[in-house]
Structure 1
Amino acid sequence: MLHRDQLEAYLNDYLSVESISDYAPNGLQVEGREEIGRLVTGVSACASLLEKAEAAKADAILVHHGYFWKGEENRIVGYKARRLRRLLCSGMNLFAYHLPLDVHLEVGNNAALGDMLELTNESRYSIKGIPDLLWFGVPGQELSANQLSQRLESVLGQAPLHVGSGPGLIRRIAWCSGGAERLIEQACAYGADAFISGEISEPIPHIAREAGIHYFAAGHHATERGGVQRLGEHIAAKFDIDHQYIEIANPA
C-alpha cells in the first residue's frame, strides 16, 4: 500500500510541477482514502471513467485532464456536482497532471507519441515559458504525406485529418500532443516539413498551405493516451501497487 501524500509528493517532484505555470491545479484535486493499493489511469476524469474506476475498486484515479480549469464556471452544479459526489462517496482520490505530463522527457505525451511513431528525437523547444513543449524528430526513412497519415492511423487507431501542401517527401517532423495546432508557425520557423497535433481550427489549413507545411490533426484524445499509461506503469513498478488503464472512447 502507498500513502496518498507520499504518492502526491513523488509525482509533483518527478513531473517538476513547480517549474510549470498551468491552466489548472496539478496534483491531488480531490482527496480520498489515505492508503492506495490500486491505481486507475485515464485521459479525462469524465463520469464514465469514474464509474469504471469505482467498479474496478480503485483507490486513486490519475488523469491528464482533471477539473478546476481557469476561466470555467465556478459553481459545483449539474454534471460537476455528480462527478464530485461520486468521487467523495467512493473514497477515491483524483490526481491530475496537465502540462507537466505533456512535456516530461520519459513518460510524457510528446515522448510517448514520438516513440509510437518511431521518430528519432532531434530537438525540443520551449514555448512561452513552457519547457520542451514542441518536439522535433526524424523518421527512419523519408515519408510521403500519405505514408505518415497511414502510420498515424495505425498507431493511434483513427485516421488523421491532413491539410497543407508541404514537400513531397517528409524528412523532419514537429509534434505537440493535444490542442497545440497554433504552434504550426513555430514548427515552420524551426524548419519542419510536417507538424502533428491533436486538433484543428479555422486558420490552420490556410497557414499550412501558404507556409508550405503538412499539418496532421490526429486527435486530442488519441495523441494524449500515452502519458498517463506510461506514468501509471512507472508508479506501479516503483511502489508495487496495481495499475489499470481504462480507455474511454473520444473521437475529438
Structure 2
Amino acid sequence: MERLTSRENALIKEYRKLSASRRHREETGCFVLEGARLVLDAAQSGIALRTLLISDEGERYPETEKLKGLVQRCFSIPKELAAYISDTEHPQGIFAVGEMPKAKPLTMEKGSYLLLDELQDPGNLGTILRTAEAMGVTAVVLSAHCPDLFSPKVIRSTMGSGWRQKTVRVENLAESIAAWQKQGLRCYAATLTPEALPLQKLPVGDCRGIVIGNEGNGVSREVIEVCDGEVYIPMRGAAESLNAAAAAALCMWELSGRGYLPG
C-alpha cells in the first residue's frame, strides 16, 4: 500500500477541498467521509468509494480490512496527516472519497413526507434524516437552499441514515407541492398561526406531508398558501417554539401513525 506523507500531495489537497467546498463537491460529484463505521456503512449501502486513506491508528479497526476490498485505491498516511485532513477533534484515522449517488425524481405514492423549507443548520438536517429513517418516512424533500446533504457535518450527524433515507432536492418547493397535490399529496405547513390545527388533529390520509420551515422565519408565505392547511405543536409551560429538528421529529411521529410498531 502506497504511503502519502506530504500535505502538498494532490490527493490530500483534493480531500481538503472536497471537505471545505460545496461547489467543488457539486462540480466533481464526490464527497468525503471519515470514521470506520460510517465509511463501511456507506460502502455497504451502495456508495462507490474512490479513495481510502488509512492512518497507522486506523489499522486497528476491524472494519479496515473489509474496506480495503471495497475501494478503488487505498493509501496509508501518518498520524499528523490524518489530523490535518480530519473534520473531527479525535479522528479514527479512516477517510474516504465517495461518489454522490444520482438524484432521482420523486413521484407521489402512498406514504408520509417531510418537506423542509429553507432549513439552515446542517446539524438539524442530519438529525432530521436520521429520525426520518427511524420513523419510516417515505421521503424527505429539501428546498433549494437547505444545507448540502454531503457536507461533513450533515454526514456525521446522520450516522449513516443519509445513505438509506430517500431525499429529494427541488428548485421551487411551492411549485413542487402544487404538482404533487395533483398526484394525491395532502400537505400541511407547521406554523404558529391561529388558523392552524393541533398536530394531533392532522387529517387522515394515505399520502400526507408536513412542511418544517426555516429556523428563524418559519415556513414561507408562498409555501403556506399552496398547502392544504396548517398545523401546530401544542406546548406547555412558557415555551413558544421548538428546535426545527425536535419539531420535525414530533411531526414525523404523528405522520407515522403514533401507534406504528416495526414488524
Give the TM-score of the pair, scaled to structure 1. Answer: 0.29
Q: Higher RCO, 1 or 2 (CA under 8 Å, sep at least 6)?
A: 1
